[in-house]
Chains A and B, each alone.
Chain A
């Protein structure tokens, strides 16, 4: 940067300051944009994770409900695993039931596993059902 006096006005000015100013601005802008981009990526990942957990909860809940109402007919195996495609994400749904014949109860655990850009994730839901539902139904009959 060089400083020179304007002959007509007598003011000092520096030539090349516009270029350096622009470069500094570009530097600040690029640092700021970099930080913002990183934040944007983070937000996108968090948003995708939330969406995946919500979808996984829905699938897990659906399996629990199926097992609850299937307790009389036993169409579904007591334990199993299957893959589900939701948009671009592949979910692994596994369920395990444990009978307690002395109390007429069945313990159900459903685990959802999936993988996304931030790694592997899983959620587990568990509940218990009363397998003596048929007794209730019989009671309804006149």
Chain B
């Protein structure tokens, strides 16, 4: 009986040892996989956020440059604000294919020097990112043809993906 019991216990011990070893290793690797997945998600989020943010910044810079170099023809909208309809160049973004940038210019009234520029980055008509910035606009005149556009400090807003 003693011999038999010892024989069975040796097998059981091996089995238990293997199972414990395997389950420990599995737990360890799965924990590592979760960490790795979290790292991957953070990286992907950062990359997406950076490309969208840069797309919006591109729109903002383009809007400022456009105001400097063009004569804006303001139109009143249904809310009583003055807006601009500016066609964007097709090569505004070359590498971020699929990301579309839309720019909106808003002004309370024609006497106000402040213009709000809102830029939206979207893909497949789904808003990805929105930013807004106020600029102080001084149009050029016949004596001094240069218009001036100054970014109003502290008015940069991250509107998220509203």
Beta-carbon contacts under 8 Å, A57-72 to B: 57, 61, 64
Contact A57 B4 (CB under 8 A): no
Q: A61-B50, A127-B57 are in contact. Are A9 and B18 (CB under 8 A)?
A: no
Q: Are A33 and B65 in contact, CB atoms less than 8 angstroms apart?
A: no
Determine the main DSSP class of A at the interface with B.
Answer: helix
CA separation between A104 and B68, bound complex, in Å? 8
In contact, B29 and A135 (Cβ under 8 angstroms): no
How many A-B contacts at CB < 8 Å in the complex?
133
Question: How many residues of chain B get a CB closer than 8 Å to chain A's CBs?
Answer: 49
Q: Is A28's CB under 8 angstroms from B40's CB?
A: no
Whether B143 sits at the interface, judged by CB under 8 Å, is no
Q: Does B32 contact A (CB under 8 A)?
A: yes
Q: Tell me, yes or no, whether B33 is within 8 Å of chain A by CB.
A: yes
> Which chain A residues in 30-51 approach chain B with CB under 8 Å?
32-33, 36, 39-40, 43-44, 46-47, 49-51
- Identify the interface centre among A102, A103, A127, A139: most chain B CB within 10 Å of its CB: A127
A83 sits at the interface (CB 8 A): no
Cβ of A36 and Cβ of B46 under 8 Å apart?
A: no
Q: Within 8 Å of chain B (Cβ to Cβ): is A116?
A: no
Contacts of B96 in A (CB 8 A): 126
Contact check, A135 vs B11: say whether CB atoms are below 8 A apart: no
Q: Does B76 contact A (CB under 8 A)?
A: no
Question: Cα distance A64–B58 when bound, in Å?
Answer: 12
* Contact call A6/B54, Cβ cutoff below 8 A: no
Question: Bound state CA distance, A32 and B26, in angstroms?
Answer: 8
